[in-house]
Amino acid sequence: MPENPSTRLPLYAQVEDVLVTRISSGALPVGTQLPSEEELIREFDVSRTTIRMTIQNLVRRGLVEIRRGRGTFVASPRIVQELTELTGFVEDMRVLGRTPTARVLSRELVPAAPLVAEKLAVPAGTTVVQIRRVRLSDGVPLSFDETYLPEELGRRIMADDLAKEPIFALLEERYDTPLVEAEYVLEATAAETAAAVALGISVGSPIFLVERTSYTSGHRAVDYERLHYRGDYIRFKTRLTRRRVPRAPKCD
């Protein structure tokens, strides 16, 4: 693929455009393995450096993913989750037309670490319930969730089928605990070992860490979560309004 002067695009961008068209048209469906570097070099008559720049750009755009030891594959489109109201994972995925499932890793009684104690407004060391789950969207592990609940409420929820029943729904529909509001803290970070193993990604992979504290009536904290979302699969979107600032009076 000799550089086309009329396009004024470098070779890697021209190759990228061709591959993007194949992906968006469905000629390369989600999950399809891209041709090898050697095959792409022969097809487009370009250098290895050009092909590698092209692939890097496609990875940055979230269109392909590199699976170590296996090759480069067309990635699922990133999920765009809007942060406009208090919703749970199951609700979010169903709105997007996806099938949510869960895999329960553990449920146990633990002493509240200082941060958990602060969020649930209990003394440090107080017994709380910890539930760890992997949340999947269309079978793809998307989030590793650590949920902490006050002991009395948490013991009841521990006995439920958490692979099928969302905790939010249990709180509101079975245990008469309406969720009124929540505080969110979002942080871009790197996956630690527990999250990486649960999500099937490499340690150090980019993730969104979402800390969410949900409150029932009387501003009583009933659910504190640490949600580790795969950074290569999800984007968050919100809408903000501008606060009007009174104009300063004009000086004569």
pTM metric for this prediction: 0.70
Torsion angle of the four alpha carbons 81, 93, 118, 185, in this order, in degrees rounded to the nearest 10: -10
Name the nearest CA neighbour of 73 among 128, 113, 36, 112: 36
Kindly list the distances between the CA atom of residue 132 and the CA atoms of 14, 34, 225, in Å, as whole numbers in the listed order: 45, 35, 10
Examine the pLDDT at 251 and tell me if it is beyond 70: no
What span, in angstroms and rounded, lies between the C-alpha atoms of 108 and 131? Answer: 7
Examine the pLDDT at 4 and tell me if it is beyond 80: no
The distance between the two most distant Cα atoms of the chain, rounded to a whole number of Å, is 75
- 245 burial level (CB within 10 Å; 0-12, 13-18, 19+): exposed
Neighbour tally for 170: CB within 10 Å: 17
- Determine the pLDDT at residue 175: 95
**Structural domains in the chain plus CATH codes:** 11-74 (1.10.10.10), 79-237 (3.40.1410.10)
The one-letter amino acid code at 68 reads R
Residue that is written with structure tokens 């409150």 in the block: 215
The 10s digit of each residue's pLDDT in 48-66 is 999 999 999 898 877 888 8
Kindly list the distances between the CA atom of residue 96 and the CA atoms of 48, 82, 88, 93, in Å, as whole numbers in the listed order: 39, 10, 13, 5
Name the nearest CA neighbour of 187 among 176, 198, 195: 195
For residues 223 and 149, the answer to whether their CB atoms sit within 8 Å is yes
The 10s digit of each residue's pLDDT in 66-110 is 888 889 999 876 777 778 888 889 998 888 888 999 999 999 999
More confident residue, 141 or 240: 141
Name the nearest CA neighbour of 158 among 96, 230, 110: 110
More confident residue, 168 or 62: 168
Angle at 21 between CA 33 and CA 81, to 5 degrees: 80
Q: Taking residues 168-196, report their average pLDDT.
A: 94
Name the nearest CA neighbour of 153 among 125, 129, 172, 121: 129
